[in-house]
Structure 1
């Protein structure tokens, strides 16, 4: 079954170069027609950043770094088995994942393939990497939806377009319910779920029925593991929440630095909605979408327009653009370090390097 999983992932990689070319073109177009006009209209964000105290910029970068680190700790919590890479290795893998996600349209799929390959080459079994990624993404999105719902209940009625927020809240609630229902089915009705996915896989022919069954079984085992280990589940929820709360705190610092102290609940509502919109695979990392949601929402909550624009764009420089070169360097360090050592041992022993237990 593991061979089936690898074969399916290799099929997805055949069009990688085409995706990269399309991605680079899309990034250029988005920067040209979305980002640059905003930068010009804001009166040059770089100049505004230069006027901020260095300590505030360092605080924002620190908050963003800890936010990303919490996601890597979450990766360690959801990975099953003993062959788990060290935290620093996972942190670099996640940074490399962000680089792809932020440079390719619909980058989530391509970055997931890159992340899967890096994890398996660092010693994680393919089925464990797939199930952990699924649980991590679904679980983190559920936590994000929960943060949105909590913020919506707190500030409902204070926003000028409350009916739109109510509609968004209803949609998020439905998706949240469907996700929880799917996890419940996997936990309590596994045989029926397996029959269903095998039948679907046989018709759509995107993934083989054997691979679909193996994937469902490993995800179900992951769900059962969390149900049997409440401490691990609690840690995963806290780490997922920290990922978003610290990221939103970075945005709050920039808004405060430009002269407006936002309500935490209102900021979290705007941030979580923009983050949910960014999940749509339309632009790299939600580029343009996040800004288009955040700026008017913050303005609707009373943030001066120029502060909303400067704050959001400054935050995106740290949250979106900065991880791109950092992630490229992280990938290079992996290639020169643990991946290079694994590949060398693979040539010496005659195997490809995936699935080798390593720590780093």
Structure 2
């Protein structure tokens, strides 16, 4: 177990070194220092980019609240701090998505969310966000500069994304219409893999199906969730646009969507923390291909990453300590209310088992 973990860490570090050495560093030759360049920018523009990033994170927290089932959803400020902690972990651990998801699950349950609700909400949220990101990539292909920065490669990538998008939608439809078959398949996979108990796999599938059914029964809720997911990415991309414009190049919306969404899709590959090196290695060449001057592309992307990637790490640490000293401390002092609320569910599961 330790040897496999060590191998994953070594592979992640090697990936970062190779990407930085052969993709990022060549772009940095002859450019000014990023921090010095940021200091030369008008403070109003930097503040505007910070506000856009904060609004992007707020949209994600509102999305969390929209997909949480039950009446045990924490307040917005609590969810906002939990999402900051999630982001900080994701940006510091190689392949940090899984670790960040575990931390986020732990924090949600410690703040009063039932385990089933936290798990199903996280699954729906991640799946829905990725589908929306794929849709933004498709929109970028449609409204971008006819694929001039990528040619056949971009067309192929777009076709793959659209196929995956269609398969995900079909899977959700099949889950609702053929629930028992999906349950049997989940139990069979759990018995074969032996990493999860069959009853837990069944409970997970049924909870996801219930959430999908709830969304279909209330059309406004999925529409609001999709809007919030799109808003999260659009505001983040807008912050990148502000930095590029501040350094002297105004990018077209279609080109911005195409470059941004492709970089974010690549960042989903669990190799480096938060796609470190991968995002920069995709964005800079694509922006240059769209006609952005080399130094503007490098300074714009790296300045954006200071705000979008590096800044949430210390802020997330502060958010974690505020949770420990606030709502999580109250839960430790008064656990009887939460225990009483969850006890009937545990009892019913034991009888069902």
- TM-score, scaled to structure 1: 0.88
1:174 matched to 2:157: no
Alignment partners' CA distance in 1, 2:162 and 2:19? 34
Mapped partners of 1:327, 1:27: distance in 2: 23
Q: Alpha carbons of 1:28 and 1:245: their partners in 2 closer, same or farther (altered >3 Å)?
A: same
* Unmatched tracts of structure 1, length 5 or more: 1-13
Match of 2:330 among 303, 324, 341: 341
Matched, 1:149 2:127: no
- Pick closer, same or farther for the CA change 1:33–1:136 going to 2, 3 Å: closer
Shift of 1:222: 0.6
Residue by residue, what CA displacement relative to the aligned partner does 1:117-158 show, whole Å, maximum 9, x if unpaired? Answer: 110111111000000000000001001100110110112534
Q: Distance in 2 between matches of 1:355 and 1:246?
A: 38
* Number of the residue aligned with 1:67: 56
In structure 2, which of residues 31, 37, 40 is the aligned counterpart of residue 42 of structure 1? 31
Please name the residue that 1:191 is paired with.
Answer: 180
Task: Give distance in 2, aligned partners of 1:251 and 1:105.
Answer: 24
- Any idea what SS the aligned residue of 1:90 has? helix
Matches within 5 A, 1:310-321: 310-321=299-310
Q: Map residues 197-236 of structure 1 onto 2, 5 A cutoff.
A: 197-236=186-225
Is residue 113 of structure 2 the alignment partner of residue 124 of structure 1?
A: yes
Q: State yes or no: 1:261 paired with 2:253.
A: no
How has the CA–CA distance of structure 1 residues 95 and 165 changed in structure 2, closer, same or farther, with 3 Å as cutoff? same
Deviations 1:271-315 (A, max 9, x none): 000000000001000000000000000100010011000000000
For the residue of structure 1 that corresponds to 2:292, the secondary structure is: coil
Aligned-pair distance for 1:42? 2.9
Q: 1:11 aligns to what? A: none
| Equivalent in the alignment of 1:8 | none
How far apart in 1 are the matches of 2:339 and 2:8? 30
Q: TM-score, normalised by structure 2?
A: 0.90
Q: Which runs of 5+ in 2 are unaligned?
A: 344-353
Change (3 A) 1:270 1:351: closer
- The separation in 2 between residues aligned to 1:80 and 1:218, in whole angstroms, is 10
Deviations 1:166-219 (A, max 9, x none): 011011012111111111111111000000011011001111111110000000
CA shift for structure 1 position 24: 11
**Which of 265, 284, 296 is 2:285 aligned to?**
296
Contact (CA 8 Å) 1:66, 1:246: kept in 2 or not? yes
Q: Between Structure 1 and Structure 2, how many residues are aligned?
A: 339
> Which whole-Å CA distance do the structure 2 matches of 1:286 and 1:24 have between them?
16
Q: Please say if residues 27 and 104 of structure 1, whose CA atoms lie closer than 8 Å, have aligned partners that are also in contact.
A: no
Query: How many Å separate the matches in 2 of 1:181 and 1:285?
Result: 29
Which residue matches 1:4?
none
Contact 2:52–2:238 under 8 Å retained in 1 = yes
Q: Give distance in 2, aligned partners of 1:93 and 1:226.
A: 24
Aligned counterpart in structure 2 of residue 97 of structure 1, from 83, 86, 93: 86
Report if the CA contact (8 A) 2:52-2:239 is conserved.
yes
Determine whether 1:323 maps to 2:309.
no
Distance 1:65 1:266 in 2: 23
